Structure 1
Amino acid sequence: MPAHVLVAYGTTNGSTAQIAEAVAEVMAKAGLAAEAQPAASVDGVTRYDAVVVGGGLYAGRWHKDARRFVRRNRRALAERPVWFFSSGPLDPSASEKDIPPVPGVRRAMDRLGAREHVTFGGCLQEGAKGRLARMLVRNGKGGDFRDFPAIEAWAARVAGELIGEREDR
Protein backbone atom coordinates (compact mmCIF):
# COMPACT_ATOMS: atom_id res chain seq x y z
CA MET A 1 0.00 0.00 0.00
CA PRO A 2 1.47 3.41 -0.94
CA ALA A 3 2.22 6.03 1.69
CA HIS A 4 -0.60 8.53 2.14
CA VAL A 5 0.79 12.08 1.96
CA LEU A 6 -0.99 15.31 2.77
CA VAL A 7 0.19 18.54 1.16
CA ALA A 8 -1.48 21.26 3.26
CA TYR A 9 -1.17 24.90 2.28
CA GLY A 10 -2.05 28.43 3.26
CA THR A 11 -2.62 30.89 0.44
CA THR A 12 -4.41 34.15 -0.22
CA ASN A 13 -4.32 34.49 -3.99
CA GLY A 14 -3.87 30.86 -5.05
CA SER A 15 -0.18 30.83 -5.96
CA THR A 16 0.82 28.59 -3.05
CA ALA A 17 -2.15 26.31 -3.79
CA GLN A 18 -0.80 25.77 -7.31
CA ILE A 19 2.61 24.87 -5.89
CA ALA A 20 1.00 22.43 -3.43
CA GLU A 21 -1.02 20.83 -6.21
CA ALA A 22 2.13 20.41 -8.31
CA VAL A 23 3.90 18.77 -5.34
CA ALA A 24 1.00 16.36 -4.78
CA GLU A 25 0.82 15.54 -8.49
CA VAL A 26 4.52 14.65 -8.66
CA MET A 27 4.19 12.48 -5.56
CA ALA A 28 1.16 10.70 -7.00
CA LYS A 29 3.04 9.99 -10.24
CA ALA A 30 5.83 8.49 -8.10
CA GLY A 31 3.33 6.02 -6.62
CA LEU A 32 2.30 7.75 -3.40
CA ALA A 33 -1.30 8.50 -2.43
CA ALA A 34 -0.89 12.27 -2.25
CA GLU A 35 -3.46 15.03 -1.97
CA ALA A 36 -3.28 18.81 -1.68
CA GLN A 37 -5.71 20.48 0.73
CA PRO A 38 -6.18 24.01 2.09
CA ALA A 39 -4.69 23.94 5.59
CA ALA A 40 -7.80 25.55 7.07
CA SER A 41 -10.00 22.67 5.86
CA VAL A 42 -7.89 19.78 7.18
CA ASP A 43 -9.47 18.26 10.29
CA GLY A 44 -6.51 16.10 11.31
CA VAL A 45 -3.40 14.36 10.07
CA THR A 46 -3.51 10.98 11.81
CA ARG A 47 -4.58 9.16 8.63
CA TYR A 48 -1.50 10.42 6.75
CA ASP A 49 1.92 8.79 6.78
CA ALA A 50 3.73 12.04 5.92
CA VAL A 51 2.88 15.72 5.61
CA VAL A 52 4.17 18.60 3.51
CA VAL A 53 3.11 22.06 4.70
CA GLY A 54 3.39 25.13 2.52
CA GLY A 55 2.64 28.73 3.19
CA GLY A 56 2.76 31.96 1.29
CA LEU A 57 5.04 34.58 2.83
CA TYR A 58 3.50 37.89 3.77
CA ALA A 59 5.61 40.57 5.47
CA GLY A 60 8.08 37.97 6.76
CA ARG A 61 5.44 35.57 8.12
CA TRP A 62 3.90 32.37 6.85
CA HIS A 63 0.25 32.55 5.83
CA LYS A 64 -1.98 32.39 8.92
CA ASP A 65 -3.69 29.16 7.78
CA ALA A 66 -0.33 27.35 7.55
CA ARG A 67 0.71 28.65 10.99
CA ARG A 68 -2.59 27.61 12.56
CA PHE A 69 -2.47 24.19 10.89
CA VAL A 70 0.98 23.48 12.34
CA ARG A 71 -0.05 24.70 15.79
CA ARG A 72 -3.34 22.73 15.76
CA ASN A 73 -1.67 19.48 14.63
CA ARG A 74 1.74 19.80 16.32
CA ARG A 75 1.56 16.53 18.30
CA ALA A 76 0.56 14.40 15.31
CA LEU A 77 3.02 16.19 13.02
CA ALA A 78 5.87 15.47 15.43
CA GLU A 79 5.15 11.73 14.98
CA ARG A 80 5.55 11.59 11.19
CA PRO A 81 7.88 12.85 8.47
CA VAL A 82 7.24 16.53 7.74
CA TRP A 83 8.60 18.90 5.09
CA PHE A 84 7.91 22.64 4.78
CA PHE A 85 7.94 25.02 1.85
CA SER A 86 7.38 28.73 1.56
CA SER A 87 6.46 30.79 -1.46
CA GLY A 88 6.86 34.45 -1.74
CA PRO A 89 9.86 36.29 -3.04
CA LEU A 90 8.64 38.46 -5.90
CA ASP A 91 11.96 38.32 -7.67
CA PRO A 92 14.20 35.55 -9.05
CA SER A 93 16.17 35.18 -5.76
CA ALA A 94 14.56 31.85 -4.80
CA SER A 95 15.85 30.30 -8.03
CA GLU A 96 19.32 31.79 -7.56
CA LYS A 97 20.09 30.83 -3.95
CA ASP A 98 18.80 28.94 -0.94
CA ILE A 99 16.56 31.22 1.12
CA PRO A 100 16.32 30.12 4.75
CA PRO A 101 12.96 29.84 6.50
CA VAL A 102 11.59 32.91 8.23
CA PRO A 103 12.03 32.79 12.05
CA GLY A 104 8.53 31.49 12.82
CA VAL A 105 8.89 28.65 10.34
CA ARG A 106 12.37 27.83 11.68
CA ARG A 107 10.93 27.55 15.22
CA ALA A 108 8.15 25.25 13.99
CA MET A 109 10.69 23.11 12.15
CA ASP A 110 12.80 22.75 15.27
CA ARG A 111 9.80 21.86 17.46
CA LEU A 112 8.52 19.23 15.01
CA GLY A 113 11.81 17.87 13.76
CA ALA A 114 10.81 18.79 10.21
CA ARG A 115 13.16 17.30 7.68
CA GLU A 116 13.58 20.23 5.35
CA HIS A 117 12.37 23.62 4.24
CA VAL A 118 12.63 25.18 0.80
CA THR A 119 11.56 28.61 -0.44
CA PHE A 120 10.09 28.96 -3.91
CA GLY A 121 9.44 32.18 -5.78
CA GLY A 122 6.01 33.69 -5.46
CA CYS A 123 3.39 35.01 -7.82
CA LEU A 124 1.40 38.20 -7.54
CA GLN A 125 -0.68 39.24 -10.52
CA GLU A 126 -3.47 41.56 -11.55
CA GLY A 127 -6.62 40.95 -9.52
CA ALA A 128 -4.73 40.03 -6.33
CA LYS A 129 -6.65 40.33 -3.04
CA GLY A 130 -5.58 42.89 -0.51
CA ARG A 131 -4.71 46.56 -0.66
CA LEU A 132 -0.96 46.01 -0.31
CA ALA A 133 -0.96 43.29 -2.99
CA ARG A 134 -2.85 45.50 -5.41
CA MET A 135 -0.44 48.36 -4.72
CA LEU A 136 2.57 46.12 -5.39
CA VAL A 137 1.12 45.00 -8.71
CA ARG A 138 0.22 48.56 -9.66
CA ASN A 139 3.80 49.67 -8.89
CA GLY A 140 5.29 46.97 -11.12
CA LYS A 141 6.46 44.72 -8.26
CA GLY A 142 4.29 41.75 -9.20
CA GLY A 143 4.91 38.87 -11.54
CA ASP A 144 5.22 35.09 -11.50
CA PHE A 145 8.55 33.94 -10.09
CA ARG A 146 7.61 30.30 -9.45
CA ASP A 147 10.05 27.78 -10.91
CA PHE A 148 7.91 24.70 -11.55
CA PRO A 149 10.80 22.49 -12.72
CA ALA A 150 12.53 23.19 -9.36
CA ILE A 151 9.28 22.59 -7.47
CA GLU A 152 8.77 19.28 -9.28
CA ALA A 153 12.38 18.20 -8.70
CA TRP A 154 12.04 18.90 -4.97
CA ALA A 155 8.74 17.00 -4.79
CA ALA A 156 10.29 14.04 -6.64
CA ARG A 157 13.21 13.97 -4.19
CA VAL A 158 10.84 14.03 -1.18
CA ALA A 159 8.75 11.27 -2.78
CA GLY A 160 11.92 9.25 -3.35
CA GLU A 161 12.85 9.56 0.32
CA LEU A 162 9.41 8.32 1.40
CA ILE A 163 9.39 5.44 -1.06
CA GLY A 164 12.93 4.44 -0.02
CA GLU A 165 11.97 4.42 3.64
CA ARG A 166 8.90 2.26 3.00
CA GLU A 167 10.98 -0.22 1.01
CA ASP A 168 13.55 -0.43 3.83
CA ARG A 169 10.88 -1.61 6.28
Structure 2
Amino acid sequence: MNDTVLVTYGTTNGSTAEIAEAIADVLRKTGLTVEAKPARAVTNVARYDAVVVGGGLYAGRWHKDARRFVRRNRVLLAERPVWFFSSGPLDASASERSIPPVRGVQRAMTRLDVRDHVTFGGCLEDGAKGWVAGMILRSGKGGDFRDFGVIQAWAGGIADALTHA
Protein backbone atom coordinates (compact mmCIF):
# COMPACT_ATOMS: atom_id res chain seq x y z
CA MET A 1 0.00 0.00 0.00
CA ASN A 2 1.20 3.48 -0.89
CA ASP A 3 0.23 5.52 2.12
CA THR A 4 1.64 9.05 1.77
CA VAL A 5 0.08 10.94 -1.11
CA LEU A 6 0.68 14.45 -2.42
CA VAL A 7 -2.18 16.23 -4.19
CA THR A 8 -0.68 19.32 -5.79
CA TYR A 9 -2.09 21.90 -8.15
CA GLY A 10 -1.64 25.07 -10.12
CA THR A 11 -4.48 27.58 -9.85
CA THR A 12 -5.09 31.27 -10.32
CA ASN A 13 -8.46 31.86 -8.68
CA GLY A 14 -8.72 28.85 -6.36
CA SER A 15 -11.21 26.58 -8.08
CA THR A 16 -8.55 23.99 -8.98
CA ALA A 17 -7.40 24.09 -5.34
CA GLU A 18 -10.95 23.22 -4.27
CA ILE A 19 -10.93 20.23 -6.62
CA ALA A 20 -7.57 19.13 -5.18
CA GLU A 21 -8.93 19.40 -1.63
CA ALA A 22 -11.97 17.30 -2.60
CA ILE A 23 -9.64 14.62 -4.01
CA ALA A 24 -7.48 14.75 -0.88
CA ASP A 25 -10.56 14.35 1.35
CA VAL A 26 -11.61 11.18 -0.47
CA LEU A 27 -8.11 9.72 -0.17
CA ARG A 28 -7.93 10.56 3.55
CA LYS A 29 -11.24 8.80 4.20
CA THR A 30 -9.66 5.56 2.97
CA GLY A 31 -6.86 5.81 5.53
CA LEU A 32 -4.17 7.34 3.35
CA THR A 33 -1.98 10.16 4.64
CA VAL A 34 -2.53 13.04 2.24
CA GLU A 35 -1.15 16.54 1.82
CA ALA A 36 -2.77 19.01 -0.57
CA LYS A 37 -0.43 21.86 -1.53
CA PRO A 38 0.02 24.44 -4.26
CA ALA A 39 2.59 23.16 -6.76
CA ARG A 40 4.83 26.18 -6.22
CA ALA A 41 5.06 25.34 -2.48
CA VAL A 42 6.24 21.73 -2.84
CA THR A 43 9.94 21.37 -2.10
CA ASN A 44 10.40 17.61 -1.64
CA VAL A 45 8.58 14.98 -3.69
CA ALA A 46 10.81 12.14 -2.46
CA ARG A 47 8.81 11.73 0.75
CA TYR A 48 5.58 10.86 -1.09
CA ASP A 49 4.62 7.40 -2.29
CA ALA A 50 2.16 8.68 -4.91
CA VAL A 51 1.30 12.03 -6.47
CA VAL A 52 -1.80 13.62 -7.99
CA VAL A 53 -1.09 16.75 -10.05
CA GLY A 54 -3.78 19.13 -11.23
CA GLY A 55 -3.79 22.29 -13.23
CA GLY A 56 -6.29 24.84 -14.35
CA LEU A 57 -6.47 25.22 -18.11
CA TYR A 58 -5.77 28.64 -19.55
CA ALA A 59 -5.78 29.18 -23.31
CA GLY A 60 -5.17 25.48 -23.93
CA ARG A 61 -2.29 25.16 -21.48
CA TRP A 62 -1.99 23.83 -17.95
CA HIS A 63 -1.35 26.42 -15.23
CA LYS A 64 2.34 27.39 -15.21
CA ASP A 65 2.82 26.17 -11.61
CA ALA A 66 1.64 22.66 -12.53
CA ARG A 67 3.86 22.60 -15.63
CA ARG A 68 6.89 23.76 -13.66
CA PHE A 69 6.23 21.25 -10.88
CA VAL A 70 6.16 18.35 -13.35
CA ARG A 71 9.29 19.56 -15.15
CA ARG A 72 11.20 20.18 -11.89
CA ASN A 73 10.27 16.78 -10.42
CA ARG A 74 10.15 14.57 -13.51
CA VAL A 75 12.80 12.10 -12.28
CA LEU A 76 11.06 11.44 -8.95
CA LEU A 77 7.60 11.42 -10.52
CA ALA A 78 8.70 8.72 -12.96
CA GLU A 79 9.47 6.46 -9.97
CA ARG A 80 6.02 6.52 -8.34
CA PRO A 81 2.34 6.27 -9.29
CA VAL A 82 1.07 9.57 -10.68
CA TRP A 83 -2.36 10.83 -11.75
CA PHE A 84 -3.16 14.09 -13.53
CA PHE A 85 -6.29 16.20 -13.65
CA SER A 86 -7.20 19.38 -15.47
CA SER A 87 -9.96 21.86 -14.77
CA GLY A 88 -11.20 24.37 -17.17
CA PRO A 89 -14.13 24.10 -19.52
CA LEU A 90 -16.60 26.82 -18.61
CA ASP A 91 -19.53 24.85 -19.94
CA ALA A 92 -21.10 21.44 -19.43
CA SER A 93 -18.77 19.66 -21.89
CA ALA A 94 -16.70 17.94 -19.18
CA SER A 95 -19.87 16.37 -17.77
CA GLU A 96 -21.09 15.31 -21.19
CA ARG A 97 -17.99 13.57 -22.54
CA SER A 98 -14.40 12.66 -21.79
CA ILE A 99 -12.08 15.51 -22.73
CA PRO A 100 -8.56 14.44 -23.63
CA PRO A 101 -5.56 16.14 -22.04
CA VAL A 102 -4.10 19.15 -23.80
CA ARG A 103 -0.95 18.47 -25.83
CA GLY A 104 1.59 19.49 -23.17
CA VAL A 105 -0.13 17.40 -20.51
CA GLN A 106 -0.31 14.42 -22.89
CA ARG A 107 3.44 14.63 -23.52
CA ALA A 108 4.16 14.68 -19.78
CA MET A 109 1.80 11.74 -19.27
CA THR A 110 3.68 9.68 -21.82
CA ARG A 111 7.10 10.55 -20.37
CA LEU A 112 6.05 9.75 -16.80
CA ASP A 113 3.73 6.81 -17.50
CA VAL A 114 0.90 8.63 -15.73
CA ARG A 115 -1.86 6.24 -14.66
CA ASP A 116 -4.83 8.41 -15.62
CA HIS A 117 -5.96 11.89 -16.55
CA VAL A 118 -9.37 13.51 -16.36
CA THR A 119 -10.63 16.96 -17.29
CA PHE A 120 -13.19 18.41 -14.89
CA GLY A 121 -15.41 21.39 -15.54
CA GLY A 122 -14.02 24.70 -14.39
CA CYS A 123 -15.26 27.57 -12.30
CA LEU A 124 -14.98 31.28 -12.95
CA GLU A 125 -17.04 33.58 -10.77
CA ASP A 126 -17.22 37.25 -9.88
CA GLY A 127 -14.05 38.52 -8.27
CA ALA A 128 -11.73 36.37 -10.40
CA LYS A 129 -8.30 37.83 -11.06
CA GLY A 130 -7.06 38.75 -14.51
CA TRP A 131 -8.07 40.75 -17.53
CA VAL A 132 -9.15 37.69 -19.54
CA ALA A 133 -11.22 36.39 -16.61
CA GLY A 134 -12.96 39.74 -16.42
CA MET A 135 -13.71 39.64 -20.15
CA ILE A 136 -15.16 36.13 -19.86
CA LEU A 137 -17.33 37.16 -16.92
CA ARG A 138 -18.55 40.33 -18.66
CA SER A 139 -19.57 38.22 -21.65
CA GLY A 140 -21.74 36.08 -19.37
CA LYS A 141 -19.72 32.90 -19.85
CA GLY A 142 -18.60 32.34 -16.26
CA GLY A 143 -20.09 29.98 -13.74
CA ASP A 144 -19.29 26.85 -11.78
CA PHE A 145 -19.20 23.73 -13.94
CA ARG A 146 -17.43 21.44 -11.47
CA ASP A 147 -19.20 18.16 -10.67
CA PHE A 148 -17.98 17.12 -7.23
CA GLY A 149 -19.69 13.72 -7.51
CA VAL A 150 -17.55 12.92 -10.56
CA ILE A 151 -14.46 14.33 -8.83
CA GLN A 152 -15.06 12.16 -5.76
CA ALA A 153 -15.66 9.06 -7.89
CA TRP A 154 -12.39 9.60 -9.76
CA ALA A 155 -10.54 10.07 -6.46
CA GLY A 156 -12.15 6.84 -5.23
CA GLY A 157 -10.51 5.03 -8.14
CA ILE A 158 -7.13 6.40 -7.09
CA ALA A 159 -7.78 5.32 -3.50
CA ASP A 160 -8.67 1.80 -4.70
CA ALA A 161 -5.50 1.58 -6.76
CA LEU A 162 -3.32 2.72 -3.86
CA THR A 163 -4.93 0.66 -1.12
CA HIS A 164 -4.92 -2.52 -3.22
CA ALA A 165 -1.39 -2.09 -4.56
**Under TM normalisation by the shorter chain, which class is it?**
over 0.9
Structure 2 residue runs of 5 or longer lacking an equivalent are: none
2:147 aligned partner: 147
Match for residue 4 of structure 2? Answer: 4
Residue 34 of structure 2 is matched in structure 1 by 34
* Post-superposition CA distance 1:66-118 (Å, at most 9, x none): 00000000000000000000000000100110000000000000000101100
**Native 8 Å contact 2:51 2:77 kept in 1:** yes
In the alignment, the residues of structure 2 paired with residue 104 and residue 157 of structure 1 have an alpha-carbon distance, to the nearest angstrom, of 24
For the residues of structure 1 that align with 2:107 and 2:18, how far apart are their CA atoms?
Answer: 25
Q: For residue 107 of structure 1, give the secondary structure of its aligned residue in structure 2.
A: helix
Q: Give distance in 1, aligned partners of 2:134 and 2:108.
A: 30
What amino acid does structure 1 have at the position aligned with 2:104? G
Letter in 1 for 2:125: Q
Q: How does 1:1-169 map to 2 (within 5 A)?
A: 3-165=3-165
Q: Residue 2 of structure 1 contacts residue 31 of structure 1 at CA under 8 Å; is this kept in 2?
A: no
TM-score normalised over the length of structure 2: 0.98
Shift in Å at residue 2 of structure 1? 6.2
Among the aligned pairs, what percent are the same residue? 71
TM-score by length of 1: 0.96
Any conservation in 2 of the 1:100–1:119 contact (CA below 8 Å)?
yes
4+ long deviations beyond 6 Å: none
How many residues are treated as equivalent by the alignment? 165
CA distance in 1 between counterparts of 2:131 and 2:2 reads 44
Give the distance between the partners of 1:143 and 1:161, measured in 2 at CA. 33
Native 8 Å contact 1:55 1:62 kept in 2: yes
User: Which blocks of at least 5 consecutive residues in structure 1 are unaligned?
Assistant: none
CA RMSD across the alignment: 0.9
